[in-house]
């Protein structure tokens, strides 16, 4: 297969698989850590209204979703890419970072969570993913 086509497919696969893990964790999060009493987390309006009721424990699963989704997506990309594995893994990480920034704009969260999420969940996970994949190959 043409290396360019293989690289493009690797990035697409990383974004799709990482995004699926992210959404899966988010969907399971309320059964792992119950939401605050009376909070409706099924709509954006409900999430915005519930934000002041959230405790730090309620932000654990979103952080894990963002970090692990990025990690898996970048690992898939680095594993499938024909060339430029680090660059492509970081492109996937940057894609998820952009999604994180858009999410924070749409759904304001406490500043401590915003900083932790943006600093630790995206680019470091992409770098770690590529290092892990290159070490194993």
Over 70: is that where the pLDDT of 105 sits? yes
40 vs 30: CA distance, rounded Å: 11
Angle at 123 between CA 72 and CA 29, to 5 degrees: 50
pLDDT tens digit sequence for 16-33: 999 999 999 999 998 899
Q: Which DSSP state fits 12? A: H
What Cα–Cα distance (Å) separates residue 80 from each residue in 73, 76, 94, 109?
11, 6, 18, 35
**What average pLDDT does range 110-127 have in this prediction?**
96
pLDDT tens-digit series, residues 28-52: 998 899 988 888 878 888 888 888 8
pLDDT of residue 36: 87
Task: Show the tokens assigned to 96.
Answer: 């998820």
Assess whether pLDDT exceeds 80 at residue 110.
Answer: yes
Lowest mean pLDDT among 1-15, 40-54, 90-104: 40-54
Cα–Cα distance between 126 and 96 in angstroms, integer?
A: 10
């Amino acid at each position: 297969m043409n290396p360019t086509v293989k690289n493009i497919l690797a990035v697409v696969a990383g974004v799709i698989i990482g995004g699926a893990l992210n959404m899966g964790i988010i969907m399971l999060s309320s059964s792992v850590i119950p939401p605050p009493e009376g909070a409706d987390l099924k709509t954006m309006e409900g999430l915005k209204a519930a934000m002041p009721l959230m405790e730090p424990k309620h932000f654990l699963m979103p952080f894990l979703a963002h970090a692990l989704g990025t990690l898996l997506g970048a690992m898939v990309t680095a594993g499938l890419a024909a060339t430029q594995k680090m660059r492509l893994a970081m492109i996937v990480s940057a894609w998820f970072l952009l999604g994180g920034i858009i999410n924070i704009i749409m759904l304001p969260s406490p500043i401590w969570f915003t900083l932790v999420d943006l600093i630790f969940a995206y680019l470091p996970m992409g770098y770690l993913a590529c290092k892990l994949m290159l070490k194993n190959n």
